[in-house]
Amino acid sequence: LNVRSRSYDWSGVAHGCTRKLGMKICGFLQKNNNLDEKSRIVGPFNEQPSSKTLLARDNERDSRFGRTETDFSNLYARDLLPAKNGEEPTVQFLLELVDILTNYVRKTFDRSTKVLDFHHPHQLLEGMEGFNLELSDQPESLEQILVDCRDTLKYGVRTGHPRFFNQLSTGLDIIGLAGEWLTSTANTNMFTYEIAPVFVLMEQLTLKKMREIVGWPNGDGDGIFSPGGAISNMYSVMIARYKHFPEVKTKGMTAAPRLVLFTSEHVCPLCVQQLHMFLSQSHYSIKKASAALGFGTENLILLNTDERGRVIPADLEAKVIDAKQKGYVPLFVNATAGSTVYGAFDPISEIADICEKYNIWLHVDGAWGGGLLMSRQHRHKLNGIERANSVTWNPHKMMGVPLQCSAILVREKGLLQGCNSMCAGYLFQPDKQYDVSYDTGDKAIQCGRHVDIFKFWLMWKAKGTVGFEKHIDRCLELSEYLYTKIKNRDGYEMVFQGHPQHTNVCFWYIPPSLRGVPDSQDRRWRLHKVAPKIKAMMMECGTTMVGYQPQGDKVNFFRMVISNPAATRSDIDFLIDEIERLGQDL
Amino acid sequence: LNVRSRSYDWSGVAHGCTRKLGMKICGFLQKNNNLDEKSRIVGPFNEQPSSKTLLARDNERDSRFGRTETDFSNLYARDLLPAKNGEEPTVQFLLELVDILTNYVRKTFDRSTKVLDFHHPHQLLEGMEGFNLELSDQPESLEQILVDCRDTLKYGVRTGHPRFFNQLSTGLDIIGLAGEWLTSTANTNMFTYEIAPVFVLMEQLTLKKMREIVGWPNGDGDGIFSPGGAISNMYSVMIARYKHFPEVKTKGMTAAPRLVLFTSEHVCPLCVQQLHMFLSQSHYSIKKASAALGFGTENLILLNTDERGRVIPADLEAKVIDAKQKGYVPLFVNATAGSTVYGAFDPISEIADICEKYNIWLHVDGAWGGGLLMSRQHRHKLNGIERANSVTWNPHKMMGVPLQCSAILVREKGLLQGCNSMCAGYLFQPDKQYDVSYDTGDKAIQCGRHVDIFKFWLMWKAKGTVGFEKHIDRCLELSEYLYTKIKNRDGYEMVFQGHPQHTNVCFWYIPPSLRGVPDSQDRRWRLHKVAPKIKAMMMECGTTMVGYQPQGDKVNFFRMVISNPAATRSDIDFLIDEIERLGQDL
């Protein structure tokens, strides 16, 4: 009973925003939530406190979902399969959970639902209305477990909400979600064909298709799915080193001359907006790789960019020549296809010319921009990618695949295995009854490897190549809409001029108090604080989320990105209205 | 219609085994499958071909699950949310999928179901009865997508089956599964508190609890969940290097003296059984780390072990002294707590004495054995672990958490951040409205990081510490049962003597034709082929799966491991019967 009453104590939710920030700021959401209470579908997030049993639904819902009225308060994990007679409680428990999840999914796409219900760490740690994060020695009932599941979602962030623009990965693809549910039910490991036959083949076919799209003849080459773009980029550096200095594998970095790597000076927002650091100067993941792999960050040379954030090829060549004159060996160039802040595409063809001239490994980091390869209209922005030696491409970003799904593609076959295999002799045992060349463990730096392929494969089946193309074209149209809307609008300044190359639109909102004020240190400092303040209010209200960061000598600006298939022009309009509503008195 | 008829063409399944191997070998399964056809619950895997609509169920089932009779043949991904009127098809699609998944779960625990329905890569690639792995440009209907989901499960391996013993990670925990379904629905990223507030706090609390269990005062220290044990071990090497030679981060490995690492000579089965290589000689993941991080595999020094596979401390000390005399710097010792083949626990306390004496970083790789810390009866096997500088512990192995869930724990706070942060100045922006010390991106080598914590947290809530303890004690009892059953049984030889330390039981099955035959090169060669042959037949029959590998000069033997909560004594008996049935004529 205690659990039950706690679980329905949602009274603080709908109006909490008002309490925190006053009627004026959050009037919008309150209004919409009121509307929502009368709407057809009554989800748990708008239900009133009730003394009814915890998980009962009104009769209409019950007959529709056909779940039995199971009392979970006397059931425990130990009563589920593999327990004797565990089938019925197992299925009922999973169906009850699925009801929670499908309600969450429906509300996520409902614009009258908040994007988040923000609380500070200390508030969540103190325990919110019966939601206790502490672990205990004794088991809790399945009823409490289901309540914990609801609360976990309640205090989280709806990354699939049409107005969630905070990350490069947004949206909740239903096919991808189904794929993840199946993946976790299958619960296997990509290490060998023996235990993941279907998934291993799906990975192989999908990687080949991706290599064809990159433009490598017949889709030949190699590749693997890895736990994210940073690890994919790390693979590329390792493989480049193995190709040119294979002895490093056995003898270490001291066996090689002083090797240098090149990448854009352009900041990754991960390093600033999210990690709240100022004036950092290199691409995060390549820098992390240079430290981890024993090159040292000082041997990562940063390349100058133009006003749009694109690497200047002449600067690369000058720095290559300079490095060689100092006796260093230029090993690796990273060309970014879709930088995280500006959405800039480095000129790959011109960079490839230089790499060929000086025999340097060319990697294209298309973690964010790789998706544009699927669009006939936009893929020209990656012209020259077919000349790369390796490519990072994260379907979990622009293509809307659930986190995580990142591929490292390699043009030359055999390097991935040569680099990562730990068994020099290759003394094959003629033991296994199947063709062991399908086993993948030898290529990976991981031992166990999560199945990241299935959701992506299933989405590709369900949408077709044309479906991905449509999604990408639509997102780019939306960013064009935003750009056109604000470029000449009162109170806005663009961070760089010209149409967006990717969906990134970077801008300052200038509150009325700063308009017409001449540039000065003081004005810059005041402007620097505008975006963070607006963002904090957005989060308190829960209406929308968008990122911001500084860049070089530019003070904090908003970085809008669109990868969410649920977003429409009305959501872009909403974002702008919201910025103005929250920012007008700053 | 084409799709529909294809989808029900299961005729080859139940009797395929008979076709392949003859009545004698696979009579068992056929009998059980026949029984199963008459059983109460009729799952899709035993249904006969039918001309009814693809996804319809008999009336009793329909009323129970209450799904509407949706015709998915005219529905496509584009009809689901966020499409207009997409709610109903979305929920129906997900419920239909959940029906497939819950049927799969029920059958997984049903011993009359096969563990797998083996096919060779070329068979699956050619397309099985309408299951086409190729991707196409045009979308497929949701009906076909649901069929693809079924087929994916059908041709996969049931890693949760009570008779699946092939990996260190086995079993299908229902609470963990629920946790994964929720995690993928939430679809967020562990990078910042901002977008994963609840999960970030759960991770923090759970890591602290794990450090308390390791035995560090107040659970102080640091840690992070990583994509598997190999990456966790890689973290430990990176942190050790950063602690002793922080300049390597900026200047690279050439800034340090020649550093050497130490680990057991004892083979990881990943390198042999699964990667079919012979006589490899070091722990896979530490070796991978030494190559990737720029140490070079030649600077990994292998330690001699006793007959049970435990590192001999005196050998460590001798090799440390020898390395120092050569002018090398001993940096890092890996002590294995639960080796993958023998389940051996290195004597941590004695190794810690040596590490303290020579100021060497002590890492304990408890990926497999860490779970025993949860058991009051067995945790003494890791005595001394509280003296380690870092610990790898994979809840996805012995604790039954779904893949993947691996923690790296670090005793000294700050090192993880210092090692992996890429922003030298630490110029905090006072931007965010919350306490940004909760953000985790700075500690990780990844940028995006999958939420691996929730399933584990939920299982801990649902089982309590006592639930994990019970599971672990039970698995160890089962391995003791197996050991006792076969140690003096005709036709068995143990690979090493004495009771198992972990659940690993390593043994040769000697077919009647080899019993009493004196040792010779020829006999060893014939024995070497026995386990692979039996394994291949097991897989063809689909009755059970267990690993095998050679070790040093020992020819192929079976390595039985038990981490599956569904396994019982009857399954152990079944395995032994099956080995004898399949092996008696070899």
Would you call B120 an interface residue with chain A, using a CB distance cutoff of 8 Å? yes
Instruction: Categorize the per-residue pLDDT at A61 as very low, low, confident or very high, splitting at 50, 70 and 90.
Output: very low
| Option in B175, B195, B251 nearest A296 (CB) | B251
What string of DSSP letters covers B39-79? SSS--GGGPPP--S-TT---HHHHHHH------GGG--GGG
d(CA B270, CA A194) in angstroms, rounded, equals 13
Residues 6+ apart with CB under 8 A from B577: none
A561: pLDDT strictly greater than 80: yes
Structure tokens given for B342: 């023998």
A434: pLDDT strictly greater than 50: yes
Per DSSP bridges, beta strands A259-264 and A329-336 are parallel
A53: pLDDT strictly greater than 60: no
Would you call B40 an interface residue with chain A, using a CB distance cutoff of 8 Å? no
Instruction: Show which of residues 440-459 on chain A sit within 8 Å of chain B, judged by CB atoms.
Output: 441-442, 445-450, 454, 457-459
| Option in A98, A188, A446 nearest B228 (CB) | A446
> Mutate which of B123, B198, B569 to disrupt the A interface (most A C-beta within 10 Å)?
B198
The pLDDT of residue A430 is 52
Instruction: Show which of residues 498-537 on chain B sit within 8 Å of chain A, judged by CB atoms.
Output: 529, 532, 536
| A461 compared with A13, residue with greater pLDDT | A461
Instruction: Categorize the per-residue pLDDT at A432 as very low, low, confident or very high, splitting at 50, 70 and 90.
Output: confident
Count of CB atoms situated within 10 Å of the CB of A63: 12
Helix (H) or strand (E) segment spanning residue B5: helix B2-7
Helix (H) or strand (E) segment spanning residue B10: none
Question: Which range has the worst mean pLDDT, A85-99, A352-366, A483-497, B259-273?
Answer: B259-273
Would you call A435 an interface residue with chain B, using a CB distance cutoff of 8 Å? yes
Would you call B157 an interface residue with chain A, using a CB distance cutoff of 8 Å? yes
Crossing angle for the helix pair B453-486 and A142-154, nearest 10 degrees? 140
Chain B residues touching residue A148 (CB < 8 angstroms): 458, 461
Instruction: Show which of residues 469-488 on chain B sit within 8 Å of chain A, judged by CB atoms.
Output: none
**CATH top class, domain B189-449:** alpha beta
d(CA A411, CA A221) in angstroms, rounded, equals 4
- Quote the minimal CA–CA distance from B516 to chain A in Å: 25
Question: Nearest Cα to A262, choosing from A318, A321, A331?
Answer: A331
Is the Cβ–Cβ distance between A451 and A180 less than 8 Å? no
> Residue A418 class from Cβ within 10 Å (0-12 exposed, 13-18 middle, 19+ buried)?
middle
- Quote the minimal CA–CA distance from B151 to chain A in Å: 9
- Quote the minimal CA–CA distance from A546 to chain B in Å: 11
Interface contact B135-A445, CB threshold 8 A: no
- Quote the minimal CA–CA distance from A387 to chain B in Å: 25
Would you call B393 an interface residue with chain A, using a CB distance cutoff of 8 Å? no
> Mutate which of B276, B416, B420, B451 to disrupt the A interface (most A C-beta within 10 Å)?
B276
A257: pLDDT strictly greater than 50: yes
Would you call B129 an interface residue with chain A, using a CB distance cutoff of 8 Å? no
Strand order in the sheet with A554-560: A164-165, A545-551, A554-560, A505-509, A492-494
| Option in A67, A185, A294 nearest B105 (CB) | A185
Domain ranges, ordered by start, for chain B: 2-158, 189-449
Would you call A188 an interface residue with chain B, using a CB distance cutoff of 8 Å? yes
| A349 compared with A22, residue with greater pLDDT | A349
Interface contact B97-A181, CB threshold 8 A: yes
Interface contact B461-A136, CB threshold 8 A: yes
What is the interface size between A and B, counted as CB pairs within 8 Å? 577
| Option in B118, B275, B299 nearest A442 (CB) | B275
The pLDDT of residue B543 is 98
Chain A residues touching residue B77 (CB < 8 angstroms): 174-175, 459, 462-463, 467
Question: Nearest Cα to A247, choosing from B327, B262, B291?
Answer: B291
Tell me the pLDDT of chain B (586 aa) as tens digits: 333 333 333 333 333 343 444 444 454 444 443 333 333 333 333 333 333 333 333 333 333 334 678 999 999 999 999 999 999 999 999 999 999 999 999 999 999 999 999 999 999 999 888 899 999 999 999 999 999 999 999 999 999 999 999 999 999 999 999 999 999 999 999 999 999 999 999 999 999 999 999 999 999 999 999 999 999 999 999 999 999 999 999 999 999 999 999 999 885 544 333 333 333 333 578 889 999 999 999 999 999 999 999 999 999 999 999 999 999 999 999 999 999 999 999 999 999 999 999 999 999 999 999 999 999 999 999 999 999 999 999 999 999 999 999 999 999 999 999 999 876 433 344 578 888 888 888 899 998 899 999 999 999 999 999 999 999 999 999 999 999 999 999 999 999 999 999 999 999 999 999 999 999 999 999 999 999 999 999 999 999 999 999 988 899 999 999 999 999 999 999 999 999 999 999 9
Name the residue of chain A whose CA is nearest to B431's CA.
Answer: A532
The CB-based long-range contact list for A573-576 (8 Å cut-off, 24+ gap) reads A573/A485, A574/A163, A574/A543, A574/A544, A575/A163, A575/A165, A575/A544, A575/A546, A576/A482, A576/A485, A576/A486, A576/A489
> Mutate which of A76, A174, A436, A463 to disrupt the B interface (most B C-beta within 10 Å)?
A174
Summarize the confidence of residues A263-279 as an average pLDDT. Answer: 50
Chain A residues touching residue B104 (CB < 8 angstroms): 185
Question: Nearest Cα to A274, choosing from B347, B436, B461?
Answer: B436
Distinct helix (H) and strand (E) counts, chain A: 19, 12
Instruction: Categorize the per-residue pLDDT at A30 as very low, low, confident or very high, splitting at 50, 70 and 90.
Output: very low
What string of DSSP letters covers B450-515? ---HHHHHHHHHHHHHHHHHHHHHHHHHHHHHHHHHHTTSTTEEESS-S--SSS-EEEEE--GGGT
Chain B residues touching residue A454 (CB < 8 angstroms): 152
Instruction: Provide the mean pLDDT of chain A.
Output: 87
Would you call A90 an interface residue with chain B, using a CB distance cutoff of 8 Å? yes
d(CA B306, CA B319) in angstroms, rounded, equals 16
The pLDDT of residue B302 is 94
Is the Cβ–Cβ distance between A544 and A578 less than 8 Å? yes
Would you call B159 an interface residue with chain A, using a CB distance cutoff of 8 Å? yes
Would you call B138 an interface residue with chain A, using a CB distance cutoff of 8 Å? yes
A565: pLDDT strictly greater than 70: yes
A423: pLDDT strictly greater than 80: no
Interface contact A153-B182, CB threshold 8 A: yes
Instruction: Show which of residues 221-260 on chain A sit within 8 Å of chain B, judged by CB atoms.
Output: 227-231, 234, 238, 248-255, 258
Is the Cβ–Cβ distance between A68 and A55 less than 8 Å? no
Interface contact A159-B188, CB threshold 8 A: yes
pLDDT single digits (tens) A208-233 = 999 999 999 999 999 999 999 999 99
pLDDT single digits (tens) B434-493 = 888 888 888 999 988 999 999 999 999 999 999 999 999 999 999 999 999 999 999 999
Would you call A135 an interface residue with chain B, using a CB distance cutoff of 8 Å? yes
Would you call A109 an interface residue with chain B, using a CB distance cutoff of 8 Å? yes
% pLDDT > 90, chain B: 78
A48: pLDDT strictly greater than 50: no
* Residue A13: half-sphere exposure toward Cβ, Cα within 13 Å: 24
Token pair 């929308």 in the structure block, residue: A544
Interface contact B174-A93, CB threshold 8 A: yes
Name the residue of chain A whose CA is nearest to B232's CA.
Answer: A446
Chain B residues touching residue A41 (CB < 8 angstroms): 87
Would you call B570 an interface residue with chain A, using a CB distance cutoff of 8 Å? no
**How far apart, in Å, are the Cα atoms of B376 and each of A485, B473, B477?**
66, 9, 14
Would you call B145 an interface residue with chain A, using a CB distance cutoff of 8 Å? yes
